[in-house]
Amino acid sequence: MPSKKRMSRQNAQRNFKRPAKSASKTTAAPNREVVTEPVLKDPDPINLKVRFLDVTEDQDGQRIDNFLRTALKGVPKSMIYRIVRKGEVRVNKGRVKPDTKLRSGDLVRVPPVRTAQQGDPVSVSKELLARLENSVLYESDALLVINKPSGLAVHGGSGIHLGLIEALRQMRPSLTFLELVHRLDRDTSGCIMVAKKRSMLRHLHEALRQGMGVSKTYHALVVGRWDSSDQKIDAPLRKNELSSGERVVKVLEDGKASITMFKVLRRFANVATLIEAKPITGRTHQIRVHAQFAGHPIIGDEKYGVESVNSEMRKQGIKRLFLHAAALSVTLADGEKLFFKAPLEKNLTVAVDQLAQQHNQYEQRS
């Protein structure tokens, strides 16, 4: 793989065409879970004093930022990163970075934090809890695999008071450890892993870093007729932040090396193509931006898609980003191999069937 610094634009565009620029308007995302806003209470008194916390054996290997998110319940991530950068957080009396990993026996100084934080966690509706319970694809004493609904963020953050991980912690209140192994965009549905033991989290993180032992397969419906020869897109990606604060990802020569393998599954004349996408690297919005770069943005994508197409497809019943983490395979530490499939939600399968009836379509075998 060529170096990201030396990779030329000509090389990045090999075997595929740059898409024509098109205006895209942002519209309200439909079919999202409605969560009641929490009542803000006075700051937790425990956060208003200096504390010294011992790192337990089970917390060995945890990043300091994640450790602080647990220690400082309700404190925004932005504030946690700020106190770390300012040196107010110390580990064994030394300054640390947000990605510093803790070791069993470390002593962490947690400074006083004043913030109008949330009181009790947002209560998850019975409907959402039931939906998540029915979405469990696999569960052991160390691992939980969920078919995440579209419209549900993986965790709470700026303007989002409830995410998947917060809901799962209420769904499994007896668990002392429950952490996301990886992420999915809010509007992407499908397979996502949640570790119930730190040893499992460490194993899967290492597997993801090495690119071995974990394989993800996505299905997406894209605009137009995808050429079967466009099977590999090797184009560097870089995150950018607009003046509005919105985060966008672009193909740029000085971006991080990014590779996605694509395969045609089903065509609907020249209107749309159902494709399989396997990301070799794991960059933010990688599949969405690579599809756009190939000239076939994903239908329902409000950020990188074509609004006129999205508007027309909403009439067909596709009212969300048509990107689904359809399958996941993982090799556990003891060598056991697991494979999971997440069914596509019914309204999207119905929309695909309608497209098939309206347009000449066939299965792609090559």
CATH number at residue 58: 3.10.290.10
Same domain, 141 and 179: yes
Same domain, 228 and 329: yes
Give the lowest-confidence range in 4-8, 87-91, 217-221, 308-312.
4-8
Same domain, 287 and 224: yes
Q: Confirm if 206 and 341 have CB atoms less than 8 A apart.
A: no
Of the candidates 353, 188, 365, the residue with the CA atom closest to the CA atom of residue 272: 353
Q: CA–CA separation, 140 vs 196, rounded Å?
A: 8
Same domain, 229 and 311: yes
Query: What stretch of H or E contains 9?
Result: helix 9-12
In a domain, 27, yes or no: no
For the question of whether the overall pTM of this predicted structure is more than 0.75, the answer is no
pLDDT at 1 over 80: no
The CA–CA distances, whole Å, from 67 to 58, 62, 175, 294 equal: 12, 7, 17, 40
In a domain, 318, yes or no: yes
pLDDT at 81 over 80: yes
List the Cα angle 315/319/322 in 5-degree steps: 115
Same domain, 218 and 328: yes
**Token pair listed for 357:** 């009836």
In a domain, 26, yes or no: no
- Per-residue confidence (pLDDT) for residue 83, from 0 to 100: 93
Name every residue whose Cβ is closer than 8 Å to that of residue 342 and which is 6 or more positions away in sequence: 137, 147, 189, 190, 191, 324, 325, 326, 327, 328
What is the extent of the structural domain holding 83?
45-103
Q: What is the mean pLDDT of the chain?
A: 83
Same domain, 307 and 184: no
Q: Find how far residue 143's CA is from the centre of its chain.
A: 18
Tens digits of residue pLDDT in 23-35: 333 344 444 433 3
Which are the catalytic amino acids?
Answer: 185
Of the candidates 298, 293, 286, 295, the residue with the CA atom closest to the CA atom of residue 259: 286
CATH number for the domain spanning 181: value is 3.30.70
Same domain, 239 and 305: yes
Burial status of residue 283 (CB atoms within 10 A of its CB: 0-12, 13-18, 19 or more) = buried
How many C-beta atoms surround the C-beta of residue 219 within 10 A? 22
pLDDT at 13 over 50: no
CATH number for the domain spanning 266: value is 3.30.2350.10
- Per-residue confidence (pLDDT) for residue 247, from 0 to 100: 82
Same domain, 316 and 268: yes
Structurally, how many domains does the chain consist of?
3
Q: Confirm if 320 and 300 have CB atoms less than 8 A apart.
A: yes
Considering 69, 103, 137, which residue would you say is the last residue of a domain?
A: 103
pLDDT at 269 over 80: yes
Considering 62, 88, 103, which residue would you say is the last residue of a domain?
A: 103
In a domain, 29, yes or no: no
pLDDT at 365 over 60: no
List the Cα angle 291/293/296 in 5-degree steps: 45
In a domain, 169, yes or no: yes
Which one is predicted more confidently, 226 or 116? 226
